[in-house]
């Protein structure tokens, strides 16, 4: 009532824009830095408002929107500053990845890192702007937020005062920590791994800190997994709100949940996954229709149970995706959903979003529809069962899967046709093995070998790609937003170098007019089975850029797809859950008032966050594989191994071993017979005096000299330089 009276007294002075947005607007209007006193004066504020202005200015500085300078504050963007996450490379230098993904990364020299660590949110000032593809150069002027509040450390020795000398396990953090114990009950010994909360900086190479938890002995795989999870800010526990919401969900779908859905429980859907998988979020079915096919893909309807903005949803968004380790998993959702209510387990009813796709006799899509349904999986199959029973025709296995064998045979027929169409349009398929870590009964690594892949894996991949493309088309045709999975075109200069390299020894290889996926696919096919196949696959892979999420449809270069999104794994990827909600909104709008659809800005922010968490998952996976590899190779120092040169630099070359899936470096400093020069356009190292050369893809014999867990690297020497080298004249 009082507010209404105030409005009726007639126009008076406008209330001051006392908000963060108002302060930013003022700085943009004034177009120069200002002191706090000048801000207060220009806004004509009273004494009681001064404290609020001080707090707002400090908050804007913390956000990286304003920069604190000697006499006041300035707009970060106007002072050529950017805010982003710092990623430090193994060489000691770093890049700031801007929060605004439209801006290029900023190169930071090691001397300009200041107090910043890998993963910190920082403000960087641009000190040199470079044209073209080169990154701008900058220096860190402020650490806004530590990327890690706690660091995994290795205990080195006890100091005289009872404190412990530690060192972060992350090789990119090049300092030591002198730490006391947060709790006297914590017991540590030299060589152990612990968690440490860093304090103040003592000098450029030393910090103080406090040991907060004991993880265990360094050689333990679970300990190595725990420290990698800490390094990459991977959440280990679900908050009480998320757990409470999950526990309140039913064990099975209720009648009210099934109402209004298509009943597909009589159709023989099956799930096909790895032997150790526990969450099944996709089921498939193929039927014959005339000369063509009908492909059904049913995906767990997680969105039905997880409402936007609920505790479970907020936690899933924060995690972004599930995280997989050799001996453990950190799921995006609690097991109550991921392994229970939303898992398409055999013989039980489950809610799904279904895609029904009609294909012609060549496997090309003709018509598709999406709708909510309920299914009952008729079999939980493994890739191995499909391989033995369908691909190899093993009688015993075929008998075991007899009821669904005819459907699976038809599914293989369709998947091969879809794959042939994808290959013709230029979809890229790199034939590079993935590592599989095997453990003995004690949990110790027994072998690291190439993961077995066959068409049973490919079958599911083809059907998932087809469903993802159908969903993207569905939303595009209705002019609705989508969270696309985009993959930028490959690095053109690197591709040109590859074609030049191949043309030097193979006149049949010519530079294409345009670096399309189809042109690259033709190159892969032409070199298959030759001695250059390895080189082509390696160099093409290095030319590829990273895929990411975006509300803007820029296409997927690697798949040669003009419309693509992620829809098929909502249990383990939040992006898929977003797309499910968009599809549900589209279907609801056809029947009545549409639910709220997120705007482009919100989708843009979600896409940036999810792309970042995906990078964290990939980096964590690479790090744990390196750590397991080094531990496995420790007792093999002095041994001789055969390998192939996988990457060449100006300081040596990497060798990928044949006997075990491990990679290490032969440094030029270990080659004392000559001075070697790197020829980047030929991917070779050439001896200045002898003309001895080493090229990409070349077979060599090496001796393991060191397996360093501190630096996460294997170091080799050549068993015989003369026997390993080739004459460079034979290579040009």
Domains of the chain and any CATH numbers? 17-75 (1.10.10), 81-145 (2.40.50.140), 151-218 (2.40.50.140), 240-486+550-622 (no CATH), 492-544 (no CATH), 637-731 (2.40.50.140)
Rounded mean pLDDT, 500-522? 88
Question: Rounded distance, CA 363 to CA 292, Å?
Answer: 7
In three-state secondary structure terms, 123 is strand
Mean pLDDT value across residues 583-589: 89
Residue 296, φ and ψ in degrees, nearest 5: -105, 130
Entry field: residues in the chain: 732
Of the listed ranges 15-24, 81-90, 216-225, the one predicted with least confidence: 15-24
Strands (E), 463-517: 484-486
Q: Please, which pLDDT band fits residue 548 given cuts at 50, 70 and 90?
A: very high
Residue 123: pLDDT band (50, 70, 90) is confident
How many CB atoms sit inside 10 A of residue 11's CB? 6
For residue 280, what pLDDT is reported?
A: 93
- Per-residue pLDDT, 630: 97
592 confidence band (pLDDT: 50, 70, 90): low
The answer to whether residue 15 scores a pLDDT higher than 80 is no
Residue 61 has pLDDT above 80, yes or no: no
| pLDDT confidence tier of residue 732, bands split at 50, 70 and 90 | low
Question: In degrees rounded to 5, what are phi and psi of residue 53?
Answer: -65, -40
Higher pLDDT, 46 or 463: 463
The pLDDT tens digits for 146-202 are 988 999 999 999 998 899 999 999 998 989 999 999 999 999 999 999 999 999 999
CB of 580 within 8 A of CB of 301?
yes
Distance CA 249, CA 391 (A): 40
Residue 728 has pLDDT above 70, yes or no: no
Rg from Cα positions in the chain: 29
Other Cβ atoms less than 10 A from the Cβ of 443: the count is 12
Look at residue 17 in the predicted model and tell me its pLDDT. Answer: 52
Residue 62 pLDDT grade (very low, low, confident, very high; cuts 50, 70, 90): confident
DSSP 283-311: EEEEEEETTEEEEEEEEE-HHHHS-TTSH
pLDDT score recorded for residue 56: 86
CB 346 within 8 A of CB 401: no
Highest mean pLDDT among 275-279, 499-503, 583-587: 583-587
Comparing 49 with 479, which gets the higher pLDDT?
479
User: Which token pair is 131?
Assistant: 């044209």
When pLDDT is cut at 50, 70 and 90, the band that residue 595 belongs to is low
Give residue-wise pLDDT tens across range 672-684: 889 999 998 888 9
Element (H, E) at 455: helix 455-477
Dist CA 347 CA 340 (whole Å): 13
pTM listed for this prediction = 0.87
In the structure, what pLDDT confidence band is assigned to residue 21 with cuts at 50, 70 and 90? confident
Average pLDDT over residues 696-714: 95
Mean pLDDT of the chain: 90
**What does the pLDDT read at residue 5?**
38
On the question of pLDDT at 1 being above 50, the answer is no
Q: What is the structure's pLDDT at 383?
A: 95
Per-residue pLDDT at 614? 96
323 burial via Cβ count (<10 Å: 0-12, 13-18, 19+): buried
User: What is the mean predicted confidence (pLDDT) over 85-97?
Assistant: 88
Average pLDDT for 345-350: 96
Q: Are 287 and 294 in contact (CB under 8 A)?
A: yes
For residue 12, the model assigns a pLDDT of: 40
Check pLDDT > 70 for residue 594.
no
Helix (H, G, I), strand (E, B) or coil at 532: coil
What element of type H or E holds 192? strand 192-203
Q: What number is the average pLDDT over the span 584-604?
A: 79
């Amino acid at each position: 009532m009082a507010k209404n009276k105030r409005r009726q007294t007639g126009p008076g002075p406008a209330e001051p824009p006392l908000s963060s947005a108002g302060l930013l607007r003022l700085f943009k209007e004034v177009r120069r830095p200002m002191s706090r006193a000048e801000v207060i004066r220009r806004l004509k504020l009273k004494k009681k408002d001064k404290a609020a202005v001080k707090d707002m200015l400090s908050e804007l500085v913390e956000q990286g929107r304003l920069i604190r300078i000697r006499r006041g504050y300035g707009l970060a963007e106007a002072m050529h500053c950017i805010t982003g996450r710092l990623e430090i490379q193994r060489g000691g230098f770093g890049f700031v990845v801007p929060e605004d993904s439209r801006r290029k990364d900023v190169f930071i020299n090691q001397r300009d890192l200041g107090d910043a660590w890998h993963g910190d949110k920082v403000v960087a000032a641009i000190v040199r702007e470079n044209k073209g593809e080169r990154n701008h150069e900058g220096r860190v002027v402020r650490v806004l937020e530590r990327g890690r509040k706690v660091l995994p450390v290795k205990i080195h020795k006890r100091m005289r005062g009872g404190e412990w000398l530690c060192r972060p396990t992350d090789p990119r953090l090049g300092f030591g920590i002198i730490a006391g114990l947060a709790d006297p009950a914590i017991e540590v010994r030299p060589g152990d791994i612990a968690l440490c909360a860093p304090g103040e900086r003592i000098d450029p190479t030393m910090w103080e800190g406090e040991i907060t938890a004991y993880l265990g002995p360094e050689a333990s795989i679970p300990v190595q997994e725990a420290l990698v999870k800490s390094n990459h800010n991977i959440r280990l526990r679900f908050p009480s709100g998320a757990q409470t919401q999950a526990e309140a969900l039913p064990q099975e779908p209720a009648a009210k949940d099934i109402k209004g859905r298509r009943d597909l429980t009589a159709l023989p859907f099956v799930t096909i996954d790895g032997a150790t998988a526990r969450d099944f979020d996709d089921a498939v079915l193929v039927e014959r229709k005339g000369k063509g096919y009908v492909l059904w893909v049913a995906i767990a309807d997680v969105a039905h149970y997880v409402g936007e903005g609920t505790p479970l949803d907020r936690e899933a968004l924060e995690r972004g995706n599930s995280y997989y380790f050799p001996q453990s998993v950190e799921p995006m959702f609690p097991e109550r959903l991921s392994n229970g209510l939303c898992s398409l387990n055999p013989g039980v009813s489950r809610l799904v979003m279904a895609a029904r796709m009609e294909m012609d006799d060549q496997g090309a899509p003709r018509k598709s529809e999406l709708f909510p349904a309920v299914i009952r999986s008729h079999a939980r199959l493994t890739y191995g069962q499909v391989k033995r029973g369908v691909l190899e025709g093993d009688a015993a296995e075929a008998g075991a899967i007899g009821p669904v064998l005819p459907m699976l045979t038809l599914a293989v027929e369709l998947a091969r046709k879809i794959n042939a169409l994808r290959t013709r349009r230029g979809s890229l398929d790199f034939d590079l093995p993935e590592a599989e870590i095997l453990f003995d009964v004690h949990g110790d690594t027994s072998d690291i070998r190439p993961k077995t892949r066959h068409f049973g894996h490919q079958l599911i991949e083809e059907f998932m790609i087809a469903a993802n493309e159908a969903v993207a088309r569905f939303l595009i045709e209705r002019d609705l937003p989508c969270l696309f999975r985009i993959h930028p075109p490959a690095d053109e200069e690197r591709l040109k170098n590859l074609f030049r390299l191949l043309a030097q020894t193979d006149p049949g290889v010519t530079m294409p007019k345009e670096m399309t996926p189809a042109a690259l696919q033709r190159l892969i096919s032409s070199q298959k089975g030759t001695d250059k196949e390895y080189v082509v696959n390696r160099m093409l892979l290095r030319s590829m850029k990273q895929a990411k999420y975006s509300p803007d449809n820029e296409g997927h270069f690697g798949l040669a797809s003009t419309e693509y999104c992620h829809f098929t794994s909502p249990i383990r990827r939040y992006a898929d859950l977003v797309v499910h909600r968009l599809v549900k909104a589209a279907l609801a709008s056809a029947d009545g008032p549409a639910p709220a659809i997120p705007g482009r800005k919100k989708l843009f922010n979600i896409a940036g966050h999810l792309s970042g968490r995906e990078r964290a998952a990939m980096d964590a996976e690479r790090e744990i594989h390196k750590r397991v590899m080094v531990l496995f190779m420790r007792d093999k120092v002095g041994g001789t191994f055969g390998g192939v040169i996988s990457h060449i630099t100006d300081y040596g070359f990497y060798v990928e071993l044949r006997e075990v899936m491990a990679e290490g470096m032969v440094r030029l400093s270990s080659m004392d017979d000559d001075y070697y020069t790197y020829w980047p356009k030929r991917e070779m190292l050439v001896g200045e005096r002898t003309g001895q050369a080493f090229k990409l893809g070349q077979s060599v014999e090496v001796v393991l000299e060191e397996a360093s867990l501190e630096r996460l690297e294997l170091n080799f020497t050549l068993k015989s330089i003369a026997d390993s080298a080739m004459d460079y004249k034979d290579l040009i």
